[in-house]
Structure 1
Amino acid sequence: MGARLLALGLLFLLPLLGAAHGVPAEGSDYVRIEGGQPWQAEPGTIEVVEVFAYPCGHCDRFAPMLADWARKAGPDVRVRYVPAAYQPTDAYARAWFALEALGETRLHQRLFDAVHREGSLPGRGATIAEVGSFLVGEGLDAARVRAAMGSPATDAKMNAAREFAIRSGIQGTPTLIINGRYRIQARSLQDALHIADGLVAMERAAAR
């Protein structure tokens, strides 16, 4: 009888032990995305997507935290950035896809700086010409920037980003999506990264 009671006691303790070790709880820490798909599938890797917006103050604060987390996340983790492209004319979302196309994603943080620290770009209503001019001022070729921001490939990425956000149930930025399957619901920016750690561990275990 004593052994049985001890076993039952351990079973009751398991959820508490899991929570203490940072095991994410479905419904409170994350939502399972029905039929969710990764943004850019790559076999053998775990994709962590940040849906972000340059004018978003929380995204600005999160950017260095996520970059630091990504450096320690492990070789099997791929952090990808998807702008919240709710409008096809959104200049900031187009800027990100232009930077990707031009191989200039090093300027990601500079766009945050321009909006939130320097005031050289507006927080609302920025035009494609304004954002393009800023990128040229950072040393990029004007014709290449203009072509990349207005290309059919960027149009397609904008549509894909909007569809990704809708099917993932994005309600605000920044939001992390793990492998297209889980949308993190965090109480703080640091909490989002703790939950991401747990979900990455879950995905690693499931792949074994």
Structure 2
Amino acid sequence: MKKVFALLIGLVLLPLSVNAADFKEGTNYEVIKQTATEKPEVLEFFSFYCPHCFKFEPLMEKLAQDLPSDVTIKKSHVNFLGGAMADEVTKAYAAADLLDVKEEVTSIIFDRIHTQRKAISSQKDIIDIFAKAGVSEKDATAALASFPVNGMASQMKRNTENFKVRGVPTLIVNGKYKVNTGSVKSVEEFTELVTFLTKKTD
């Protein structure tokens, strides 16, 4: 996490232009699977409880703008942070996705935890978060208890286990390459590295 924090500071201070980088396995990325996904994708593992993930959000938003249109960005919430509420917050993220308020709920939760310094300690807190995103208590409660949301939450847990994620934020590209974020020195180089990996075929 310290490397990620250093990267975030560096991205603010360094110029945004770099020469074409010669990205190398073992330095800029690691191969963690033998086969890649059929279509290019970026999977970010994160936690609402992670301060580095909170600071990483603007970088991911910039990446979404700069990546080719055929690249899908997905996010998977991990359960090893957050204590007793970790599973419930993961379900809240899944429900927000189902209800098409993912951006709103993401912003509200990050702000609550890291700016307001307010804990999420009950189901009522989660319902209140959805209310701020414009979702009624009835709809939020139904979504949180639904089969699709439980399935999505279970899939996120499996993702964490399958990719052996132990820290966040972690980026997996095409299901095969793990980005070494500490190896890049600017926003542009970060985008170049991720774009390079989305196009890599070997």
Q: What TM-score does the superposition give when structure 1 sets the normalisation length?
A: 0.74
Distance in 2 between the 1:189 and 1:117 partners? 27
Residue 183 and residue 88 in structure 1: after superposition, are their counterparts in 2 closer, same or farther (change >3 A)?
Answer: farther
Question: What is the aligned partner in structure 1 of residue 140 from structure 2?
Answer: 145
Question: What is the aligned partner in structure 2 of residue 115 from structure 1?
Answer: 113
Q: Matched residues, percent identical?
A: 20
* Aligned 8 A contact 1:66 1:193 in 2: no
Question: What is the aligned partner in structure 2 of residue 92 from structure 1?
Answer: 89
Q: Which of these residues, 90, 93, 99, is aligned with residue 102 of structure 1?
A: 99
Root-mean-square deviation (Å): 2.8
Aligned amino acid, residue 141 of structure 1:
S
Distance in 2 between the 1:81 and 1:202 partners? 17
Residue 105 and residue 178 in structure 1: after superposition, are their counterparts in 2 closer, same or farther (change >3 A)?
Answer: same
**Structure 2 unaligned residues grouped into runs of 5+:** 1-18
User: What is the CA distance between 1:29 and its match in structure 2?
Assistant: 2.4
Residue 185 and residue 174 in structure 1: after superposition, are their counterparts in 2 closer, same or farther (change >3 A)?
Answer: same
User: What is the CA distance between 1:53 and its match in structure 2?
Assistant: 0.6
- Indicate the larger mover: 180-189 or 108-117: 180-189
Residue 64 and residue 142 in structure 1: after superposition, are their counterparts in 2 closer, same or farther (change >3 A)?
Answer: same
Residue 60 and residue 189 in structure 1: after superposition, are their counterparts in 2 closer, same or farther (change >3 A)?
Answer: farther
Which 4+ stretches in 1 moved above 4 angstroms? 35-38, 86-89, 188-193
Residue 162 and residue 154 in structure 1: after superposition, are their counterparts in 2 closer, same or farther (change >3 A)?
Answer: same
Distance in 1 between the 2:77 and 2:126 partners? 15
Aligned amino acid, residue 31 of structure 2:
R
SS in structure 2 of the partner of residue 90 of structure 1? helix
- Indicate the larger mover: 152-161 or 61-70: 152-161
User: What is the CA distance between 1:72 and its match in structure 2?
Assistant: 1.3
Larger Rg computed on CA atoms: 1
Question: What is the aligned partner in structure 1 of residue 55 from structure 2?
Answer: 61
Distance in 2 between the 1:206 and 1:128 partners? 44
Distance in 1 between the 2:136 and 2:45 partners? 27
**Structure 1 unaligned residues grouped into runs of 5+:** 1-19
Map Cα deviations across residues 3-30 of structure 1 (whole Å, 9 max, x no partner): xxxxxxxxxxxxxxxxx73233222322
Matches within 5 A, 1:1-208: 21-35=20-34, 38=37, 45-86=39-80, 90-107=87-104, 108-119=106-117, 121-122=118-119, 126-187=121-182, 194-195=189-190, 197-204=192-199, 206=201
User: What is the CA distance between 1:74 and its match in structure 2?
Assistant: 1.8
Residue 168 and residue 88 in structure 1: after superposition, are their counterparts in 2 closer, same or farther (change >3 A)?
Answer: farther
